[in-house]
Amino acid sequence: MKPDEKHLLVFRFSAMGDVALTVPVIRNVLQENKNLKITLVTNPLFIPFFYGIDRLTIFPADFKGQYRGFNGLYKLYKDLKSVNKFDYLIDLHNVLRSRILSFFFLFSGLKGFRINKNRKAKRKVITGKIKKPLIHTTERYKAVFDNIINVSTPLSVPSIFPSEKAIAAAEIFIQKENIQAKQWIGIAPMAKHELKRWPLENIHSLIKLINKDSDVYFFLFGGGDKEKKEMDRISTQNTNISNITGKLNLSEEIALISKMSFMITMDSANMHISSLLGVPTISIWGGTHPMTGFGALNQPDEYAIQVSEQELTCRPCTIYGKGSCKRGDLACFTRLSPKIVYHKLIYLNLFK
């Protein structure tokens, strides 16, 4: 290491979308500070997000395996200490696991900084006491680095770039599908929580409406056996469509998403992946809301399709999607009919 070079140890373990949102910040930090190196501790599944970032090392941490529990965290601390000497610790997660791990390092003399998630302000958004948008999550990440260095904004988008190998694999997949349509539309209809999922019946109807008048081909993105079965049902009942769930790895999915004319997503990891690739991203919102700081980065406000909080004063009712509809009717989704979404796509002039 050069005499003036600094090495930062950064934590962000999960979830997928939150890890993806670290990419533009880390990329800017390293592009603007040539004397910095970063070691990021995260889930090994998320390595494809960081392809091509110079002076970044990913330390994969399996918290269900060798680094499980308190003893596993201490082992992780010892393993990291043996790999490199760090100058600062940056905790972008601020959960019990990252705080325990930070404590080990802080006790050994490493100065650290932690993200302020401002949970109090987020609760006030839910209760209606705050009606203005909170800062974006990427700005919260940036603020932690600002304790050490200055990071400029706006953050660079696109900031995720697929590898050459992944691009080649995606192109082979496309050739096999023999696609002739003018436009390729990606749809990621799934999300972890019910309050983030527009009903699949609506997705099915929206595809039929688009298929009726446009020369398009659809790609369905999801994950897991259950999601694959649900989306197989959609793909078998429509034309010009491929369900790619389980057919490509994450690197290859990133490459395929980068080729879409536009994406239609829920408030999900795929929304962040698509927007960070620089693909026009239409997001459909239910119980959650972009104003809490988790919207699609650098996408126009009108690309977020939602029932207004003036029409439904119970919105937002959740930050992360957990919980159930207090009304019992999921009005935030049922009032967004397939026709409403379809006409919004036309209004946005997304069809060629």
What pLDDT score was predicted for residue 2? Answer: 56
CA 328 vs. chain centroid, Å, equals 28
**Bond before 166 cis per omega within 30 degrees:** no
Structure tokens at 191: 């999300």
**Banded pLDDT at 352 (limits 50, 70, 90):** confident
* Whether residue 167 has pLDDT greater than 90: yes
What pLDDT score was predicted for residue 3? Answer: 56
Mean pLDDT score across all residues of the chain: 95
Domains and CATH numbers, the chain: 6-145 (3.40.50.2000), 164-347 (3.40.50.2000)
Calculate mean pLDDT across residues 10-34.
97
pLDDT in tens, 140-154: 999 999 999 988 878
- Phi, psi (5° rounding) for residue 179? -85, 130
Calculate mean pLDDT across residues 313-335.
95
What pLDDT score was predicted for residue 1? Answer: 47
pLDDT-wise least confident of 230-244, 249-263, 292-306: 230-244
What pLDDT score was predicted for residue 226? Answer: 87
**Banded pLDDT at 178 (limits 50, 70, 90):** confident
pLDDT in tens, 40-58: 999 999 999 999 999 999 9
pTM above 0.85, yes or no: yes
Burial 285-314 (b: 16+ CB within 10 A, else e): bbbbbbbbbbbbbbbeeebbbbbebeebee
